[in-house]
Amino acid sequence: MEQYIRSLVEKSVQGVLADGTVNESGRRGLVIGNWKMNMSIEEAALLFEGMKGEAPACDVAVCPPFPLLYPVKVMLAQFQDQIVLGAQNMHWADQGAHTGEVSASMLKELDCRYVILGHSERRQAGETDEEVNLKVKQALSEGLQPVLCVGETKEEREQGRSGEVVISQLHAGLDGVENVNSVVVAYEPVWAIGTGLAATPEQAQDVHRTIRQTLTNQFGDAAARVPLLYGGSVKADNALSLAVMDDIDGALVGGASLIAVEFKGVIDGFSRG
């Protein structure tokens, strides 16, 4: 396996990095694969073998489990920055007695560009808005781009509170943040994560518009440059319909990011959208 990984790194990628599609606000499409607690080294290598081909016209990142960060970093060398590395979480402290945690500086040392923060699966495990906020500020101070996740439960949506919940999570997560230029926001309705149910493009756009307006109220013109991602059962067959919405700039992809043909399909959708 080690020899196989090394051979992947040594192979050159043909073609030149695409310029990519940028919308009127200067936001380039962004697709991030969240592998969650999935994949082995061998499975990751097979995934990347299937990802070879024409350079995508949008930015792409993958966020493996912590033990796979270095092996995946090695494998990604073959893509010449067409696919970059991210992490699924981090602690807000620089270092210390925090068993089972990792710091932002550790992630930076592995060339991580993004870190997912405030994912609903972590919020459901007890993570608070205050902790998410500490992590966002620490990530920014270390030069990482936080992917701040927000989203409502099925019950909250049925109560008509989607906008209220998302606005509250945004305000709490970005409290004390002065510069939003390096922030990414991902709207992930909890009821659509891993359920096979996806918000319609119109439903997702409606919440994304609320997010954009909330950011504009807080940060002014800089909000127009913040990438807004949709997550929740995003697949190859619904990516383009989401990508053509005005305020949906990309996707935070779960299960589909584990399958090369599906992940490439999502990337293609946001490259064309």
Catalytically annotated residues: 119, 188
Ligand-binding site membership of 34 (annotated): yes
Ligand-binding site membership of 36 (annotated): yes
Ligand-binding site membership of 191 (annotated): no
Ligand-binding site membership of 15 (annotated): no
Ligand-binding site membership of 96 (annotated): no
User: Which residue, 150, 153, 173, is CA-closest to 161?
Assistant: 153
User: Which residue, 190, 270, 184, 193, is CA-closest to 232?
Assistant: 193
Ligand-binding site membership of 52 (annotated): no
Ligand-binding site membership of 194 (annotated): yes
Q: What are phi and psi of 80, to 5 degrees?
A: 50, 50
Q: What are phi and psi of 23, to 5 degrees?
A: -80, 180
Instruction: Give the Å distances, CA to CA, from 73 to 12, 70, 257.
Output: 16, 5, 17
Residues annotated within the binding site for substrate are 34-36, 194, 233, 254-255
Residues making up the annotated binding site are 34-36, 194, 233, 254-255
